[in-house]
Structure 1
Amino acid sequence: MRIATWEHRGSTGAGFVDGGRVFALPDGATTLDLVRDGLERTLDAGRRVVADGTGVPLSEVRLLPPIQPPAMRDFVAFEEHVEGVVKSVSGGAGVVPEWYQAPTFYFTNPHTLVATGDDVAVPSGSHALDFELEVAAVIGAVDGSDGRDLDPVAGREHIFGYTILNDWSARDLQRREMRVSLGPCKGKDFANTLGPWIVTADEVEDLHDDDGFLALELSVAINGVTFGRDLLSNMGWPFAELVAYASRSSRVAPGDVLGSGTSAGGCLAEAWGRAGSQTPPPLAPGDTVRMEVERIGVIENTVVAGRDLPAPAPARVRPRTRTRTV
């Protein structure tokens, strides 16, 4: 089942996509309400809503990000991507041993989501705009569990569905931030595309291999020319283990979004690291990025010029005194 959020005739709706039409939930309910109900109740509700409604043609609505997540974590789960990008961003080489020891993620900004079809503005001060092709898992409610200290079996049960994630990246801003051994922050938090909808976990269940990896085909194109392809099953950890790790001594909540990290060949920085130069060049206004994931769909965005903001003030050198003088 596909679950979406959309705008139609000035109103926002959420519900189910079926047969080229959208079927709205009653009483202004949202996608977040569905994931809080859990997968089985949502599937039952979807069958009823589609059977009882006439729907609206999908072509008449403007899709919005399918969910407003309480939190977004983005992992770095593809070894081949790390090999290529580390030189471009940090100046290093190879994959550090710590990468193999446990999954690594950062929290990103759930307040700057954009939808498929939206323009993406170049962030102020950046001249190295990049994209990142990812799949994201959406956490759902599971009866009897509050999402803490999950094992991988329970982690898989908490996956409500999947969507496509484009983790837009300003590589020059990111490079400065990472030299402080913290971040990324402004190199990442200006835009994330989620969409076009959430595909419920049952729709891809048959594509799990014996180790729990999900063998979906991924591709990305720039201005109509294919740039990269990969299989989601090339992740170093399956999503079930990423969910379990995120919950370790912590908690995942319904609606949380967990990104896979960039697939191999899924960003420009990876090519830059291997070439030793910005070849191909960074994204510029007018460029269109199209991402496609098997059984999920397509997202597409066009880059536009952003606002030119004043540079941030540098740190003031302080005397490090320990007593007040005023």
Structure 2
Amino acid sequence: MRFATVEEPGGAVRCGVVDGDTLLRLPEGTSVLELLRSGTLLDAGAAAGDPISLAGLRLLPPVEAPTVRDFAAFEEHVEGIAGAVDDAWYAAPTFYFTNPYGLVGAHDDVAVPPGCERLDFELEVAAVIGVAGSDLTPGEARHHIAGYTILNDWSARDLQFREMAVRLGPCKGKDFATTLGPFLVTADEVEPHRDADGFLSLGMTVAVNGTEIGRDLLSNMSWPFEDLVAYASRGTEVRPGDVLGSGTCGNGGCLAELWGRGRDLPPLVPGDVVTMTVDGLGTIANTVVAGADPRPIPVARRRGRRRPSGPTTT
């Protein structure tokens, strides 16, 4: 099944099961997140009805994610960004937490974040957790994935690289927008695309203003999603609705990879339309719009250190 969350004319938010160009709405007050938490997502089709055309409805992120982890699971992407892949990268599927408040829908406008002059996209797929768990094995983790959706990890590269130079982040270079959509496609629908090595073999493409920039296979991940979920659960929990991004695919999954390989492509500017398509998951398309100017914050002060008076303890 495919689940969508929409904003109807007048502002009402509803979710339902997608049937072609129609949304079979679930009862008012139902949300995809609550279906996941109650373990009734796959049973929801029996209650779906009250059809409405998807045309003219605003597609919201299909699930209101409590947390969003984003991995870096494509070796080719890391190689293009960094020039070489450090041995530490191969040891574990690392990730960072991004901002669940920054989630935007499949066709929402995306504003240039304050102070950014090098805006970029990142073509990814995300797994959505359906069953809570901790310290999972990869074999166990497969049964904790409810489904998949497309993820665009919008990136302010100039902000990102500056803040990561202090060995933290990314923070403001990433937290302004993350597209999820168009739908949450349940794991059983994607399973036939699994290859002999256990990876999901889905074609992925990204275009800017109708010109294709990147094309890859999801199966080029260096770890399958089960490994990502297992690692995320180590020493903690994954819970229903949590989103885990694959990281950016290779072969032009973002501009920064192509910049690293010597391609002279311009960063995104207002008016650009970024379109991403993944086999079996659908298409998202967001238009870049002008954003706000940054409100000034002073640079850090440089001064000598003072200490409280009194004896020094050891």
- Residue 71 of structure 2 aligns with which residue? 75
8 Å contact 1:112–1:191 — kept in the other structure?
Answer: yes
1:24 partner letter: R
Residue 62 in structure 1 maps to residue 69 in structure 2: no
Q: What is the distance in 2 between the residues matched to 1:60 and 1:111?
A: 24
Q: What is the distance in 1 between the residues matched to 2:22 and 2:85?
A: 46
Q: What SS does the aligned partner of 2:256 have?
A: helix
Residue 260 in structure 1 maps to residue 237 in structure 2: no
Structure 1: stretches of 5+ with no match in the other structure: 87-92
Residue 316 in structure 1 maps to residue 301 in structure 2: yes
2:305 partner letter: R
Residue 302 in structure 1 maps to residue 250 in structure 2: no
8 Å contact 1:125–1:311 — kept in the other structure?
Answer: no
Per-residue CA deviations over 1:256-312 (Å, capped at 9, x if unaligned) read 00000000011000011110x7x1000001100000000000000011111112333
1:234 partner letter: N
- Residue 15 of structure 1 aligns with which residue? 16
Give runs of aligned pairs for residues 173-252 of structure 1, distance below 5 A: 173-252=159-238
Q: What is the distance in 2 between the residues matched to 1:219 and 1:19?
A: 22
1:269 partner letter: A
- Residue 273 of structure 1 aligns with which residue? 260
Q: 1:324 to 1:309 in 2, by over 3 A?
A: farther
RMSD of aligned Cα (Å): 1.3
Give runs of aligned pairs for residues 19-58 of structure 1, distance below 5 A: 19-38=20-39, 41-46=40-45, 48-50=46-48, 53-58=49-54
Per-residue CA deviations over 1:139-181 (Å, capped at 9, x if unaligned) read 002xxxx411000011111000000000000000001011001
Give 1:65 deviation, angstroms: 1.0
How many correspondences in the alignment? Answer: 308
Per-residue CA deviations over 1:76-127 (Å, capped at 9, x if unaligned) read 00000001112xxxxxx30111000010000000001111221111111111
Q: What is the distance in 2 between the residues matched to 1:167 and 1:307?
A: 20
Give 1:62 deviation, angstroms: 1.5
Q: What TM-score results when the alignment is normalised by the length of structure 2?
A: 0.95
8 Å contact 2:32–2:41 — kept in the other structure?
Answer: no
Give 1:211 deviation, angstroms: 2.6
- Residue 90 of structure 1 aligns with which residue? none
Q: What SS does the aligned partner of 1:17 have?
A: strand
Structure 2: stretches of 5+ with no match in the other structure: none
8 Å contact 1:36–1:254 — kept in the other structure?
Answer: yes
From the two aligned structures, give the one with the greater helix fraction.
1
Give 1:249 deviation, angstroms: 0.8
1:267 partner letter: C
8 Å contact 1:137–1:160 — kept in the other structure?
Answer: yes
Q: What SS does the aligned partner of 1:319 have?
A: coil
Give 1:324 deviation, angstroms: 5.6
User: What is the percentage of aligned positions where both structures have the same residue?
Assistant: 61
Q: What TM-score results when the alignment is normalised by the length of structure 1?
A: 0.92
Q: What is the distance in 1 between the residues matched to 2:298 and 2:309?
A: 24
Q: What SS does the aligned partner of 2:253 have?
A: coil
- Residue 141 of structure 2 aligns with which residue? 155
Q: What SS does the aligned partner of 2:78 have?
A: helix
8 Å contact 1:212–1:240 — kept in the other structure?
Answer: no
Q: What is the distance in 2 between the residues matched to 1:320 and 1:73?
A: 38
Q: What SS does the aligned partner of 1:100 have?
A: helix
